Amino acid sequence: MLYKNVGKKILFKMDPEKAHNVVIGGLGLAGKVPGMSGLLGAIYGVPAYAELATTLWGISFNNPIGLAAGLDKNAHAIDGFSNLGFGFMEVGTVTPKPQPGNEKPRSFRLPQDEALINRMGFNNVGIEELSENIAKTKNRKIPVVINIGKNKVTPNEEAEQDYRTCIRRLYAQADFFVVNISSPNTPDLRNLQHGNDLSNLLAAVVDEMNIQKEKHGDRGKPILVKIAPDLTDSELESTVQTILESGVSGIIASNTTISRDGLSHPNQKETGGLSGKPLTHKSTEVIRRIYELTEGKLPIIGSGGVFNAQDAYDKIKAGASLVEIYTSLIYEGPGVVKQINEGLIKLLKQDGFTHISEAIGAGVHGIR
């Protein structure tokens, strides 16, 4: 209630990008101040529910709710976010070289639609500074995922080198990686989701991961591919088949959408990727279709319009093993993580499940 009555009102009077920077700066500072981590954990932390704990790719997750990429682009606030109850978090998207992103303004709220539009354009500090920021993390409580992309000036035919560079430099610091080929804000990036471009890129990424696996003498790091919600069914079928054949570890569904269906706020005219409630159903249906196409054999992280426990549960029953939030954190505040997890416990009990794994794909007929 404190966030909605005070914090949200203050932040929503600011430019969205300025408010974003204030929050990241505050959480970054909170992670460094003695006692603040404990205070955040006491207020927003999520108890260790046995029903929600899971292991995927050999990685332990205390609960299935993660922070999507885009909020902590430069890994300034890992300590802070670690105390807000998340089961894991993504940082990035990071590119090999620093880049400023697109011209401002580039972030827009649509309060009536409980949505955001952004055209940030992979603004980030680059892999060297990101690596330094991660190294400064004092108390890494949850898995940290690094979302990687290509620089804007890198042509698609050379994109694989950018992704290789990110993996090579950040290998030791990531629990797993996400290959971002679905942002609508980098010209032609989404073309990498199709055909030979996709198969060649994923072959290069898997090859680089194997090189690093041998170099470090470990079991390797999982690689997931983040796809757009705007693929046609035939495009999705082709893309998923290529991903299956590539040997990567999973899919994140989905990124932001370029659709503007059903919006009422004037900011709907802004170009960029739309996130929030208008994406809730659309992303869930993409998850369901991926689960059907893969016969439940490839783990899915569900993302898009998750505002409450029912939204998250719907994605899990559609086939998601984990779920991410972003926009709901801005509209609902940090307490939403605890609310979703507590709600999931109740929903599992209502359906007679004793563990979250039993609900994965339970709403998809003919698979389980």
The string of pLDDT tens digits covering residues 36-72 is 888 888 999 999 999 999 999 999 999 999 999 999 9
For residue 253, list its beta bridge partners.
Answer: 227, 302
Place of tokens 């109740």: 346
**Cβ contact 263:113 at 8 Å:** yes
Confidence of residue 367 (pLDDT cuts 50, 70, 90): low
Angle, nearest 10°, between helix axes 336-350 and 309-318?
60
What is the average pLDDT value for the chain, to the nearest integer? 95
Question: With pLDDT > 90 as the criterion, what percentage of the chain qualifies?
Answer: 89
Residues 6+ apart with CB under 8 A from 269: none
CATH for 2-359, options being 3.20.20.70, 3.40.50.10470, 3.30.360.10, 3.30.465.10 = 3.20.20.70
> Considering only 22-31, 268-277, 312-321, which range has the smallest mean pLDDT?
22-31
CA 172 to chain centre: 20
pLDDT of residue 1 exceeding 70: no
pLDDT of residue 251 exceeding 60: yes
**Peptide bond preceding 98 in cis form (omega within 30 of 0):** no
Average pLDDT, integer, range 341-351: 98
Can 183 be counted among the known catalytic residues?
yes
The pLDDT of residue 187 is: 87
The pTM (predicted TM-score) of the whole model is: 0.96
The pLDDT of residue 217 is: 96
Looking at 183, 249, 275, 303, which residue is catalytic? Answer: 183
The pLDDT of residue 37 is: 83
Q: Tens digit of pLDDT for each residue in 98-155?
A: 999 999 999 999 999 999 999 999 999 999 999 999 999 987 899 999 999 999 999 9
Place of tokens 């999705």: 236
Q: Tens digit of pLDDT for each residue in 278-327?
A: 999 999 999 999 999 999 999 999 999 999 999 999 999 999 999 999 99
Per-residue tokens: 282: 């659309």
pLDDT of residue 242 exceeding 90: yes
The pLDDT of residue 252 is: 98
User: Can you say whether residue 101 is alpha, beta or left, with left for phi > 0 and alpha for psi between -120 and 50 degrees?
Assistant: left
Question: With pLDDT > 70 as the criterion, what percentage of the chain qualifies?
Answer: 99
The pLDDT of residue 31 is: 81
